[in-house]
């Protein structure tokens, strides 16, 4: 067992790779009642083309298979839904699908090990039939239609479509009504058997556990012993330039929504860059920034700006979203603020204050067993250990942040997405 200790927060991470290839990570928390477990494969919505070992021809999936598979994992051959079983035990269970991974989780204060029996059972024993796959198409179809009516989702997805021309990140994670109509049980089994193999999965556990003992409990419940070779993933070539500059649509809403995106490259120290961009975004547009106060005082901004930097091994982007009665004015002022910062630099005091704030917020995430577990799982799929962020904060200087500002927040990489009301 590998043990990594971080002196800054006095946390220990225990990592063990089991015989079947499953990586288990344990973050023990003494005298904490809540226990949390999350596990899943490095398989998400963008993994829709791959070559299965032993085959020459590539398998190409319709959009939405990873999300569809996640929905079907709870259904058991007995006719019982595992989510209902877990809920009856008094635990809070859920699952989700992203662009690059899928995850299954639950949190509990009592009955953790009874829930673990069910949890390990349904993750390792999928049950797909022609009938239950067809039934699920109707359920997911309703979900797709619902999200199409959400302006918040559309302003986000349209920004992604503006940035990306070919990469499947530009497609709704759930797919479309047309694409899910093509999904079969054979596709689901193919994906499960090739991507839900233990060597492509990670499990993170946080709570009052003895690492050796909880890992032994996991071992007892493992039925999948095989450590298989993984498929070769095939992604379309994505140009560095953006796909289109802007997209404006109309929907039923009272006040317009807007998103400003910047397409980035996955290169260099992504942890250090991520920290720098978080500091920059908060310094320029956060609640304590001069621009935010100005926009709020002029009633140009309704609520706060959502500031995000997201990256995986295949993509990276900045997204600034908000709501305004006059989005074009807000977008213009945001761009002016970026241009000014590129030209004149950023205020040293503001940079220092926001750096401390973001570091503090990051430390606070470790107070939650849920946030800690999800952080380590998400970072693992990026090839990162979450403790790396704590070590890299000291390396992010104002000079480095201003260099990142000039490289990432440029007009050539910028897109805008706006959702207006029907009457506007």
Share of the chain above pLDDT 90, in %: 94
CATH of the domain at 261: 3.30.830.10
Q: Are residues 186 and 253 in the same domain?
A: no
Residue 303 falls inside a structural domain: yes
Q: Are residues 333 and 216 in the same domain?
A: no
Mean residue pLDDT across the chain: 96
Pairing between strand 257-264 and 92-97? unpaired
Q: Are residues 271 and 212 in the same domain?
A: no
Residue 238 falls inside a structural domain: no
H helices of 196-326, where? 211-220, 270-285, 290-297
- Counting the structural domains of the chain, the total is 2
Distance between CA atoms of residues 309 and 317, nearest Å? 6
pLDDT at 422 (0 to 100): 77
Q: Are residues 47 and 168 in the same domain?
A: yes
State yes or no: pLDDT of 143 exceeds 80: yes
Name, in order, each residue with C-beta under 8 angstroms of 336's C-beta and a sequence gap of 6 or more: none
Q: How far is CA 410 from CA 227, 273, 344, in A?
A: 45, 15, 15
Residue 240 falls inside a structural domain: no
Residue 132 falls inside a structural domain: yes
Pairing between strand 102-108 and 11-17? unpaired
State yes or no: pLDDT of 405 exceeds 90: yes
Per the CB < 8 A criterion, the answer to whether 73 and 123 are in contact is yes
- pTM score of the predicted model: 0.94
Q: Which one is catalytic: 5, 56, 60, 70?
A: 70
State yes or no: pLDDT of 100 exceeds 70: yes
The residue to which tokens 């070590």 are assigned: 391
Annotated catalytic residue 70: yes
Residue 62 falls inside a structural domain: yes
Last residue of a domain, one of 194, 212, 233: 233
Binned at pLDDT 50, 70 and 90, residue 424 comes out as low
Q: Are residues 218 and 269 in the same domain?
A: no
pLDDT at 308 (0 to 100): 97
From the CA atom positions of the chain, what is the Rg in Å? 23
**Can you give the residue range of the structural domain that contains 98?**
2-233
Q: Are residues 219 and 260 in the same domain?
A: no
Tens of pLDDT, residues 211-241: 999 999 999 999 877 788 999 999 999 999 9
Region 359-375 average pLDDT:
96
């Amino acid at each position: 067992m590998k043990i990594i200790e971080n002196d800054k927060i006095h946390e220990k991470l225990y990592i063990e790779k089991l015989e079947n290839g499953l990586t288990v990570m344990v973050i023990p928390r003494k005298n904490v009642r809540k226990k949390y477990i999350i596990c899943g494969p490095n398989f998400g919505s963008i993994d829709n083309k791959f070559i299965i070992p032993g085959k020459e021809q590539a398998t190409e999936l319709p959009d939405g298979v990873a999300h569809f598979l996640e929905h079907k994992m709870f259904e058991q051959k007995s006719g019982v839904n595992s989510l209902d079983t877990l809920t009856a035990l008094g635990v809070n269970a859920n699952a989700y699908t992203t662009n690059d991974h899928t995850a299954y989780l639950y949190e509990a204060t009592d009955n953790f090990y009874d829930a673990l029996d069910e949890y390990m059972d349904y993750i390792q024993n999928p049950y797909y039939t022609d009938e239950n796959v067809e039934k699920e198409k109707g359920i997911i179809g309703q979900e797709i239609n619902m999200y199409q009516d959400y302006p918040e989702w559309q302003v986000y997805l349209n920004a992604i479509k503006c940035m990306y021309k070919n990469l499947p990140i530009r497609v709704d994670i759930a797919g479309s009504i047309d694409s899910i109509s093509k999904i079969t049980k054979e596709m689901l089994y193919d994906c499960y058997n090739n991507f839900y193999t233990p060597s492509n999965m990670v499990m993170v556990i946080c709570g009052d556990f003895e690492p050796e003992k909880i890992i032994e409990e996991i071992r007892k419940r493992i039925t999948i012993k095989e450590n298989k070779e993984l498929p070769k993933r095939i992604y379309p070539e994505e140009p560095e330039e953006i796909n289109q500059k802007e997209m404006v649509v109309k929907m039923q809403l009272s006040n317009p929504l807007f998103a400003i995106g910047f397409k980035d490259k996955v290169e260099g120290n992504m942890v250090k860059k991520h920290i720098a961009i978080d500091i920059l975004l908060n310094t320029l547009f956060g609640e304590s920034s001069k621009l935010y106060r100005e926009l709020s005082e002029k009633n140009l901004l309704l609520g706060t700006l959502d500031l995000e930097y997201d990256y995986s091994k295949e993509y990276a982007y900045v997204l600034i979203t908000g709501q305004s009665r006059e989005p074009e004015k807000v977008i213009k002022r945001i761009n002016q603020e970026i241009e000014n910062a590129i030209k004149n630099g950023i205020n040293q005091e503001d940079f220092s204050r926001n750096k401390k704030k973001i570091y503090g917020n990051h430390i606070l995430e470790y107070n939650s067993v849920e946030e800690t577990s999800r952080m380590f799982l998400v970072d693992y799929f990026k090839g990162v250990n979450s403790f790396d962020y704590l070590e890299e904060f000291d390396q992010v200087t104002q000079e480095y942040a201003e260099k990142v500002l000039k490289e990432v927040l440029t007009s050539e990489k910028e897109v805008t997405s706006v959702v207006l009301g029907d009457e506007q």
